[in-house]
Amino acid sequence: MWKLSNISVLVCILLIATSNLLYMEFKFLKKKSAIILPKRRKEQKYIILAGPSKTASTSIQFNMYSWSELGWLGHDWAWMHPNLTCLREQSRIYCPAYRHQLADNPLYWKAWSCLCKCLFDSLESKNGTEPCTHVKSCYEESLQRQQQNNHPTKLIFGYEGIADNLVYLSVKGRDTSIFIQGFLDTLPSSATKDEITFVVTYRSPKIDHLRSVWKECTFKMKNRTSFWSSLLLGNINVK
């Protein structure tokens, strides 16, 4: 009986010692793994809604803006606002036709029209995009402030004129990559290619899209040409 008790005590001591060793080894591995494993970076996303016109682009932009303001997109997603005070000043020079969209009750979801117009006019006149530097700064500063204050990791912005103007500039033989770069310049320099997505909306059947464009282009004409005549004459375009 005495021998059995001694053996039992020895077994208990060995079990306790083994448990302590395993526990210490686990703590060491846990601490070591915490050092080795890299800290995961929050995934960044920048979604650029490019249009084109007559593809429910205004509704899409308005809904994205409204849902962002209401918090329905979640904490990570947000509509990217420009600095309106800055933009109102710059619009007098670079996009006077769009100043009504930047009034006291601005159409925030259309605020990217000024940059789009500035970039298009600069390339159309072959002056490069340098004149739009001040306009771009209105968007760059606002994005930085928005990310610092609210910390969204996924931002949406855009304007239907992006796709419209891309097609027009391409037909005219202009360098469309410079036009696209004008929008990319408003993003942080750390943004990678994989983090940026251009969304182009397609309306089907295409004939309905063209007919809708024709209605808008000829709405105020006294002598409106027919849809088919406009197609044959080449009067229906993205501008």
Q: What is the pLDDT of residues 43-52, one digit of tens each?
A: 899 999 999 9
Q: Does residue 153 fall inside a structural domain?
A: yes
Q: What percent of the chain has pLDDT over 90?
A: 35
Q: Which domain holds residue 79?
A: 45-202
Same domain, residue pair 209 and 152: no
User: Domain check: are 96 and 73 in the same one?
Assistant: yes
Which pLDDT tens digit goes with each residue over 59-81?
999 999 999 989 898 889 999 98
Verify that 133 and 239 share a domain, yes or no.
Answer: no
What is the chain written as a DSSP string?
Answer: -HHHHHHHHHHHHHHHHHHHHHHHHHHHHHHHHHHHSPPPPPPPEEEEEEE-TTSSHHHHHHHHHHHHHHTTT-SSEEE----HHHHHHHHHHH-GGGGGGGSSS--GGGTTHHHHHHHHHHHHTT--SGGGHHHHHHHHHHHHHHHHHH--SEEEEE-THHHHHHHHHHHTT--HHHHHHHHHTTS-TT--GGGEEEEE---SSHHHHHHHHHHHHTTT-SSPPPHHHHHHHT-----
* 61 and 128 co-located in one domain: yes
208 is a domain residue: yes
116 and 175 housed in the same domain: yes
Q: What is the pTM of this model?
A: 0.74
Calculate mean pLDDT across residues 78-106.
85
Is the model's pLDDT at 133 over the cut of 50? Answer: yes
The reply to whether 88 and 49 lie within a common domain is: yes
Min mean pLDDT across 35-44, 94-103, 177-186 is at: 35-44
In tens, the pLDDT along 134-168 reads: 999 999 988 888 888 888 899 999 999 999 999 88
Please state the domain count of the chain: 2
The verdict on residue 226 lying in a domain is yes
Mean pLDDT (whole number) for 79-99: 89
Q: Are residues 208 and 224 in the same domain?
A: yes
Query: Is residue 210 located within the same domain as residue 103?
Result: no
